[in-house]
Chain A
Amino acid sequence: MASLTINGRQYELDVPDNMPLLWVIRDVVGMKGTKFGCGIAQCGACTVHIDGVATRSCVTPVSAVTGEVNTIEAMAEDPVGKKVQQAWLDLGVAQCGYCQGGQIMNATGLLKSNPEPDTQEIIDAMAGNLCRCGTYNRILAAIERAAGKEVSS
């Protein structure tokens, strides 16, 4: 039995302790915005927030989750997440879009802990999130825009 708070809602779930949070969110709770990309914390498509900290849900056993979980579906209600989403739209970041939820979750996590990151800090923080379409330049520009900087690349 797992007790979870996801996007402000309480869930009591009959799932094995070792089941990764990713599959709990996707298959048991049924929210599909959090994506499966690699299963070994190499791509970041599954990124969620636990107490506001960007976390790879594919390697986080549900039994290890003690804090409040937020997913991409909740970011429109999050002041930082909303800004990041808007910057993504303004700059036309997404191509296929599959990884972008995880990118936005990671970027939002970054801006929550470091509201004015410099370029290198953004690159370092985003290095764990893969995008096969290759939208990195626009992701970087969008994070800078969300952080209040002018578009620079």
Chain B
Amino acid sequence: MSQSDDTLLLANVSRRGILKGLAGASALLLAARWGTAFANEKAQFGAGAMPGGWIDNPNVFIQIDSDGLVTFINNRAEMGQGIRTSLAMVAADELGADWDRVRVKQAPADQEKFGNQNTDGSRSMRHWYDPIRRAGAAARLMLEQAAANEWGVPVSEVRTEVHKVVHPATGRELGFGQLAGPARDLDVPGRNALFLKSDNELRFIGKESGLVNGELTSAHPKAVDGQDIVTGKAVFGADVDLEDMLYAVIARPPVYGAEIKSVDDSAALKVTGVKKVIRIKTANQPAAFNPLGGVAVVATNTWAAMEGRKALKIEWNLDAAGDNADYTSDAYREMLEKRAQSPGKVIRQSGDVEAALKDADQRVSATYYMPHMAQSPMEPPAAIVRMSDGKAEAWAPVQNPRATRDGVAGMLGIDRENVTVHQTLLGGGFGRKSKPDFVSEAARIAKEFEGQPVKLQWSREDDVQHSYYHAVSVDHLDAGLDANGKATAWRHRTLSPSITSLFAPDPKHIGEFEQGMGFNTMPFDIPSIRLENPPAPAHVRIGWFRSVYNLPHAWAIQSFAHELAEAAGRDHRDYVLELLGPDRKVQNLTVGDGWNYGENPDLYPIDIGRMRRVVERATEEAGWGRDMPKGRGLGLAFHNSFVSYTAIVFEVEVDESGELTIHRADIAFDCGPQANPERIRSQMEGACVMGIGIALKSEITFEDGVAQQSNFDKYLIPRMPDAPKVVRVHLIDNPGDGMGGVGEPGLPPVAPALCNAIYAATGKRIRRLPVGDQLKS
């Protein structure tokens, strides 16, 4: 992107100058409208509580060239959620820019300058909508002030139209490019001086566009990377090409924690193109984001490195892995199922569950299983690092640039300031690229080649066999129903290894943030509730996978609610609406959730009314209650996560041979205010397909600590024939609540809704995922 001397570089304004605005009445009004406080420091919740917080200085995010080209600096990782487009739209709309003259440039890793960059937790738009609107409004005001100065009129007499400032009284106008120079010399206005556009002045924000449920609506502000993607020009991690570059792959220990016993690299070194073989130390456990260790082969191209790796003869010391080398999935599942029969650590309790279960007229019990899965983004991890003169430069597709920078610095024993991380596009993330272990690996190898860039490429086998896996889980539920089928007791035991085992000695219990993902936040209005968490050890690296522990919790709870409705002989929708109880806002702390995705529970409570509305909308749109022919059924599930609300109804058909067809999905989604509805729809559609894969196909199993799947021939993810024939996304118009997450909340209800639909169609209850060939038997 061009960045001429005429670029609008807004004068720096002191921190004090910015905060002065806080005293002003209009600032308080703005704060009220946005539902957030301006004080970045000491914030307890939201964007301000994140490392690096938020920044709204237009200097940082918006540049205008003298030719009128507007450059938006995007600070968040682009991994398919469309954030480069959506945040640029927010800035451009508030600024008044012509979309065709907006470019997007990716910020390097620099949390001090750009605020929090950890693209995780469905936070990008939720945390950056307000600061970026303010940045756009501040830049617009500076352009208006520059024009007013030029014309010698009060700024109140001028206004911004698309890409220009006009003085209606005299008909004069100046383009953004003409104003860029003069505006550069002006002070950044205080926040109390800013006026955000009213909704009817907005051109992009909140507007439906593009493909809406099968209809092509207005021309959208086209995705900023769309043209590059369809022409093969988009640059992902492995696409960065540097002069003199070397290529590397690593043979990693087959079991988590195993070490090299011996290496015979004589054959590998004879492979044409192979330059060097490097032994990498196995990180101490817990390994966090440190390399797993192994043997790196460095060559003049990727293929030669892979051929060299094949020729290595490595003996591993499995003793170093301890009992990880005994980890076998079937035995582990049986152990968890057995433990689920006994009480565990109590997480939440109200009433007397044991007594209520005893007194119940009917008791229902079920155990649900969800296996390990790998995120497996289509772009396997890849990174390039060049080390020279004690400084490192990295190019990588990472969700967490700060952790990447720190990882490389730690690996090389240099200061963070001496590490530059260039953020490429991510060919999918889904949580895998939140862990920058692969960049640290590249740094470790690059250390041996002063001045020469080294590209580390993970193969698909590497990815599937050495992931940070989604936790395996067993959930056991017992409920008591009274004579009318009403639930009087709910006991839920959840067992899964914890992500915290990556960073500290294995606690064997899930942490607060894992409980807060749909376990202790279970929304039903039942007199006696007890939630328990028996222990479950980790034997592989456990990590975030899109929507994380919401997956098992929603799968179990939403399947079980359907089982209760069946036991009560009631319609599923009517029954769950009664289980939810009256519309109310449940403060998270009252159910033991002190986490709430980092958001203020007073602004983002568990809102039963919003839950009810998505259930009602999805079921209405799906034609709930209509007669279905034999072999067809509708299935419902809903879940709130990442402070948003989702309900899904699937219509499925299962023929006599057990062949499943998904005819339709109706998804109702409430994320509060919508910045870019078009990309919200695409996220819901994508989550639906990914969730179908979780329900039907995806599973990683272990034998003696070794992953039994290694590529897409055995680790199955959804393909086009698995997608629903029709997907309809119904966005709830709800501008009044706080903005919620979008990337993840579409996923958790998919698997239970699909399995509930399978039950409706066949009477067969699925309690173990994936479905696999269970319908055939």
Contacts and interface: CB of A to CB of B under 8 A. Distances in A.
Contact of A100 (B222, B229, B461, B685): B229
A73 interface: yes
B427 A96 contact: yes
Nearest to A128: B719
Given A89-B222, A89-B226, A137 B302 contact: no
User: Looking at A45, A96, A104, A126, which has the most chain B CB atoms within 10 Å of its CB?
Assistant: A96
A132 B378 contact: yes
Contact of B428 (A31, A38, A96): A96
A32 B723 contact: no
A28 B302 CA distance: 10
B232 A34 contact: yes
A111 interface: no
B682 A92 contact: yes
Contacts of A27: 247, 301-303
Contacts of B234: 97
Interface string A140-152: 1100000000011
Nearest to B457: A36
Contacts of A99: 378, 427
B729 to A, nearest CB: 10
A94 B226 contact: yes
A36 B687 CA distance: 23
B370 interface: no
A88 B720 contact: no
B210 interface: yes
Contacts of A30: 241
B214 interface: yes
A64 interface: no
Contacts of B727: 137, 153
Contact of A153 (B81, B214, B220, B377): B214
Contact of B211 (A16, A32, A91, A104): A91
B711 A42 contact: yes
B378 A98 contact: yes
B225 interface: yes
A94 B378 CA distance: 13
Contact of A40 (B380, B430, B687, B713): B713
B173 interface: no
B230 A96 contact: no
Interface string A19-47: 11001001110111111111110110100
B333 interface: no
B230 A36 contact: no
A106 B723 CA distance: 18
A134 B685 contact: yes
Interface in A95-153: 95-101, 104, 123-124, 126-141, 151-153
A2 interface: no
Contacts of A97: 80, 225, 228-229, 234, 236, 425, 427
B211 A92 contact: yes
Contact of B689 (A23, A35, A136, A141): A136
Nearest to A89: B226
B286 interface: no
A43 to B, nearest CB: 6
A33 B686 contact: no
A55 interface: no
B686 A141 contact: no
Interface residues of B, number: 71
Given A134-B723, A151-B215, A33 B241 contact: no
B227 A133 contact: no
Interface string B233-258: 11110110100000100000000000
Contacts of B578: none
Contact of A130 (B429, B461, B719): B719
Interface string B670-700: 0000000010001101111110000000000
A57 B214 CA distance: 34
Interface in A71-88: 71-73, 75-76, 85, 88
Contacts of A37: 378-380, 460
B717 A151 contact: no
A88 to B, nearest CB: 5
A12 interface: no
Contact of A92 (B81, B226, B690): B226
Given A96-B428, A100-B229, A153-B725, A90 B216 contact: yes
A136 B723 contact: yes
B449 interface: no
Interface string B32-50: 0000000000000000000
B518 interface: no
Given A97-B234, A104-B230, A130 B712 contact: yes
A115 to B, nearest CB: 20
Interface string B411-440: 000000000000001111110000000000
Nearest to A38: B460
Nearest to A45: B378
Given A23-B303, A72-B231, A141-B211, A94 B712 contact: no
B79 interface: yes
A146 B214 CA distance: 15
Given A16-B272, A123-B720, A127-B719, A153 B726 contact: yes
Given A96-B428, A130-B717, A39 B460 contact: yes
Contact of B232 (A20, A72, A131): A72
Contact of A96 (B272, B426, B687): B426
A135 B80 CA distance: 10
Contacts of A136: 689, 718-720, 722-723
Contact of B210 (A19, A42, A91, A104): A91
B232 A28 contact: no
Contacts of B214: 141, 151-153
Contacts of A127: 719-721
Contacts of B601: none
A85 B461 CA distance: 31
A127 B689 CA distance: 14
A129 B379 contact: no
A137 B724 contact: yes
Contacts of B241: 30, 32
B663 to A, nearest CB: 11
B308 interface: no
Contacts of A42: 460, 711-713
Given A97-B225, A136-B689, A23 B302 contact: yes
Contacts of B215: 151
B223 interface: yes
Contacts of A40: 460, 711-713
A129 B712 CA distance: 11
A94 B223 contact: yes
A43 B377 CA distance: 11
A135 B79 contact: no
A138 B712 CA distance: 22
B82 interface: yes
Nearest to B685: A137
B712 A135 contact: no
Interface of B: 78-82, 210-211, 214-216, 220, 222-223, 225-236, 238-239, 241, 247, 272, 301-303, 376-380, 425-430, 457, 459-461, 678, 682-683, 685-690, 711-713, 717-727
6 contacts: A23-B302, A27-B247, A27-B303, A38-B712, A39-B460, A73-B233
Interface of A: 16, 19-20, 23, 26-28, 30-40, 42-43, 45, 71-73, 75-76, 85, 88-92, 94-101, 104, 123-124, 126-141, 151-153
Given A33-B232, A123-B720, A153-B726, 8 more contacts: A16-B272, A37-B460, A72-B231, A92-B223, A97-B229, A126-B720, A127-B721, A153-B214
The 3 closest A-B pairs by CB, nearest first: A33-B232, A134-B689, A98-B427
